[in-house]
Amino acid sequence: MKEEISRAVEEILGLTGTEDALSEGIIQGSNESSVILETPPDSKMGDIAIPCFVFAKILHKNPAVIAADLKNGLEQKKEELGLDEVISTGGYCNLFVNRKLFVENTLTKAADGNHGVEKIGEKKTVCMDYSSPNIAKNFHVGHLRTTVIGNSLYKIYDKLGYNVVRINHLGDWGTQFGKLIVAYKKWSSKEAVEKNGIQELLDIYVKFNNEKEEHPELMDEARSWFVAMEHGDEEALSIWEWFKDISMVEFERVYDMLGISFDSYTGESFYREKVPALVELLKEKNLLIESQGANVIDLSEYDMAPCMITKKDGSSIYHSRDISAVLYRKEKYDFDKCLYVTGLEQSLHFKQVFKAIELMGLDYYKDLVHVPYGLISLDGEKLSTRTGNIIYAEDILNEAVKRAYELIEEKNPSLENKGEVAKKVGIGAVIFHDLFNQRIKNINFSWKEVLSFDGTTGPYVQYTYARAKSVLRKYGKELQCTLTDCQALTDDISFAFIKTIGGYEKAVNAAAESYEPSIVARYLISLCTDFNKFYQKCPILKEENVKTKVARLYLVYVTSQIVFECCGLLGIECPEEM
C-alpha cells in the first residue's frame, strides 16, 4: 500500500523522474519510490503522514499549499489506494486507510508461506564469517557475541532467500601456537593436558605471557616453533593437531547448546599454503615492497599502516591468510557479498585487507563487509585470555538454564519437560540480551542483566508465544486458517496491533540491510507488547459473537506463527508451554 501511495504522490506533484527530485534524493531513479511516509504520533491524526516540507524547495511553494494540493489529488484516488479519508493540516497531508481492506491485505500477506517477506536474495550467495574462536583457548563470552550475531544474520539472510555459506574461520595458526608449544614443554605434560583439557592449555598460555615479561627470550623460542610449523616440522604439527582436536570438542559442546552449525571450518591453517602464490601474485602486480626484512603493501597513500604479507622470517601473518581466504572464497563460492562478523578493534585490519583486494584490481572488494560489534568488559576491564580475565560461555549458558529451571519449579512445578523448557528459556535469555542491544554497543557484563527474565527479555517473548498457543489449545476446535470477517478486527486495539504485524517484512529487510539483528529483536518486543494489549482488551475465548471470536482466534494464530519465526531469526527456540 505504501509503495502505491508513494507513486501516487510523485504523479500528483509531477515529480516522477525529474532531475530536481532525483538530485534532492526525494525520489529514486529506480522502480522503488522513497517519498517519505511517516506514522503520526497520535492515531487520531491519521494512519500515514506525508511531510510536504521536503517538496517545497523543488516546487517553490509553501508546504501547506503543497499539502492541500496533495489532498485534492489523493481524494480522487482514495478507492484505488485503499483510503477512507485524506486531510491536510499545516505542512502535512494525513491519510486514514480503509481499515477493513488494510486488515484483509495485511493478514493475508502475513499468513502466507513466507509471512509476507519477499525472497529478494534468490540466486545470490553470501559468505558469512563468524564465531571463529582461537584454538587452545576456552570459548568465552566474547566469542558468544560474534557467534549469536552471525547466526542471527545467517538466519535473516536465509529467510530472504539468499544462499548463505556459514564459515567458521578458526584461529588455528600463528605465533600463539609457538607460545603454547614452549609453555607445554616447560610447564605441562601429556597427562595434565589429557586430564584438564583446554583449561590446562589456557593456564599455561597465561603463564607464558606472564613469564615472558621477565624472560623475553621465551618469545624467540615461540617464534622458532611457529616457523617450524610453517615449514612442516613433524613434532610441531603433531602437538598443534593435538591441541586443535582438544579445542574442537569444547567448541562443539557450546555450539550444540546454542543449536548452531557451520558449512565450513576452514581456518587460518588452511590458507597458509596459499600465501606463497599470493606473494607471487602481488609481485606481478608490483604491490609488494620490502620493509625491515618483511614483505608489505604500502598503504600510506590511504592513511593506513602497511599491510604485512610475510614477516622477516618468511612466515605468514593474519593479513596474508585473510587475503588468501578472500581469493579462495570468491573462486569456490562466487559470493555476491562476504561478511566478517568480528570485534570493532579489528576494523583497521579489514580496511587493510579490503584495500589490498582493491589494489589488486579485483572489483569485488566492494562486496566485502566488516560487521563490527562492541567489546564486552568485566567490571570495566577488557576480557583477555592473556591475563585470565574471562567468563566462559558454557558457564553462562549452564547458569542461565539452572536459573530458568528454578523459576519454573517456583511458578509452574507441574510443567512437563521442565528440563527441556528450562534449556530453551535460559539460553534464549542469554541470546536475546545480546541481540536486543545494538551490536556496536560496548557491554559491561552483568549476571543480573543477562539472566533477567523480566521486561524486554527473551523469556517475555517466549511467554507471549506460549500464551498464544495456550489460547488456541483451549479453543479445542480445528481453526480454519483463513480470515472470514475482517470487519471484526477494525476496532482501535486490533487495528493498531495489525499495523504492527504489517511491519514484519520491513524489520527483516532493515536488519539485513544494516547487518543489525537488534532491529528484529526490538520489533519482536513491539509485536509481543501489542499482542498482550490485544489479549487483555479484546475478549477471545469469552467473546459471544462467533464471527468475532473466530476472527480474533485467527489473529492469535497468525501472531503465534510470526513470533515463533521471529524468535527463530534470533536463534531462540520457543516452548509450547511455560
Most distant CA pair in the chain, distance = 86
Catalytic member of 71, 140, 169, 319: 140
Exposure of 334 by Cβ count < 10 A (0-12 exposed, 13-18 middle, 19+ buried)? exposed
Query: 137 an active-site residue?
Result: yes
At 358, list the grid cell: 582493491
Query: 215 an active-site residue?
Result: no
Catalytic member of 44, 60, 109, 143: 143
HEC-encoded secondary structure of 320-354: HHHHHHHHHHHHHHCCCEEEEEEEHHHHHHHHHHH
Tell me the β-bridge partners of 337.
126
Helix (H, G, I), strand (E, B) or coil at 477: coil
Count of helix runs (H) and strand runs (E) in the chain: 24, 13
d(CA 462, CA 262): 26
d(CA 168, CA 154): 12
Catalytic member of 71, 77, 123, 137: 137
Q: Please, what sign has the CA dihedral across residues 522, 526, 527, 529?
A: positive
d(CA 442, CA 440): 7
Query: In which element (H, E) is residue 364 found?
Result: none
Query: 433 an active-site residue?
Result: no
Strands (E), 368-484: 368-373, 376-378, 381-382, 443-444
CB within 8 Å of 484: residues ≥ 6 apart: 547, 550, 551, 554
Active site amino acids:
137, 140, 143
